[in-house]
A and B are shown apart, each in its own frame.
Chain A
Amino acid sequence: MKDDYLWDKTGEPDPQIQQLEEILGTLRYQPKPLEIPEDLPVSRRKNYFPWLAIAAALLIAILAGGIWLSTRSRNEAPERQAEVTPQAPAPVEEKSPLPAESKTPERKPDSRKEVIAVNRHRPKVATPVLSKHEREEALMAKEQVMVALRLTTEKLSLVHKKTQNTNPANQIRNQHRVG
Chain B
Amino acid sequence: MKTTFKTSLISLLLIITTAFVAKAQDTRIQLGSLDHLAAKASETVDVNVDERLMKLAARVFSDKDEDQRQIKKLIEGLKGIYVKSFEFETEGQFGAADLEPIRAQLRGAGWTRMVNVVSKKEGNLEVYLQFAGEMINGLAVLHTDDKELTVVNIVGPVDLDKLAQLEGQMGIPDLGIESTKSKKKTNEQ
Chain B's nearest CB lies how many Å from the CB of A111? 45
Please tell me if A161 contacts chain B, counting CB pairs below 8 Å: yes
Please tell me if B135 contacts chain A, counting CB pairs below 8 Å: no
Q: Mark A44-63, 1 if CB is under 8 A from B, else 0.
A: 00010110010000000000
Contact A144 B127 (CB under 8 A): no
Contact A142 B154 (CB under 8 A): no
Please tell me if A67 contacts chain B, counting CB pairs below 8 Å: no
Contact A159 B53 (CB under 8 A): no
Chain B residues lying within 8 Å of A142, measured Cβ to Cβ, are 57, 60-61
Contact A156 B127 (CB under 8 A): yes
Q: Which of B47, B54, B82, B177 has the most CB of A within 10 A?
A: B47
Chain B's nearest CB lies how many Å from the CB of A140? 8
Given contacts A49-B3, A162-B125, is CB(A149)–CB(B57) below 8 Å?
no
Q: Which residues between 132 and 159 of chain A lie within 8 Å of chain B, taking CB atoms?
A: 134-135, 137-139, 141-142, 144-159
Stretch from B95-103, B165-173, B180-188 at the A interface: B165-173
Contact B71 A149 (CB under 8 A): yes
Selected from A127, A144, A155, A160, the residue in CB contact (under 8 A) with B176 is: A160
Q: Which residues between 56 and 76 of chain B lie within 8 Å of chain A, taking CB atoms?
A: 56-57, 59-61, 71, 74-75
Selected from A156, A161, A162, A163, the residue in CB contact (under 8 A) with B141 is: A156
Selected from B48, B71, B75, B175, the residue in CB contact (under 8 A) with A156 is: B175
Contact A157 B175 (CB under 8 A): yes
Chain B residues lying within 8 Å of A151, measured Cβ to Cβ, are 45, 47, 83, 85, 150, 152
Bound CA span A144–B81, Å: 9
Q: How many residues of B contact A (CB 8 A)?
A: 44
Selected from B75, B152, B174, the residue in CB contact (under 8 A) with A155 is: B152
Selected from B47, B150, B170, the residue in CB contact (under 8 A) with A144 is: B47
Chain A's nearest CB lies how many Å from the CB of B6? 8
Contact A158 B60 (CB under 8 A): no
Q: How many residues of A contact B (CB 8 A)?
A: 34
Chain B's nearest CB lies how many Å from the CB of A131? 11
Chain A residues lying within 8 Å of B47, measured Cβ to Cβ, are 144-145, 147-148, 151
Chain B's nearest CB lies how many Å from the CB of A148? 4
Please tell me if A130 contacts chain B, counting CB pairs below 8 Å: yes
Q: Mark B148-165, 1 if CB is under 8 A from A, else 0.
A: 001010100000000100
Contact A160 B177 (CB under 8 A): yes
Across the interface, name the chain B residue whose C-beta is closest to A48.
Answer: B3
Please tell me if B21 contacts chain A, counting CB pairs below 8 Å: no
Contact A158 B125 (CB under 8 A): yes
Contact B115 A163 (CB under 8 A): yes
Bound CA span A9–B101, Å: 93
Contact A153 B172 (CB under 8 A): yes
Please tell me if A16 contacts chain B, counting CB pairs below 8 Å: no
Q: Could you pull out 29 A-B pairs where Cβ atoms are within 8 angstroms?
A: A50-B7, A130-B59, A137-B53, A138-B60, A139-B60, A142-B57, A142-B61, A144-B53, A145-B71, A146-B71, A146-B171, A148-B81, A148-B82, A148-B83, A149-B71, A149-B81, A149-B166, A151-B152, A152-B83, A152-B152, A153-B173, A155-B150, A156-B127, A157-B176, A158-B122, A159-B117, A159-B127, A160-B175, A162-B119
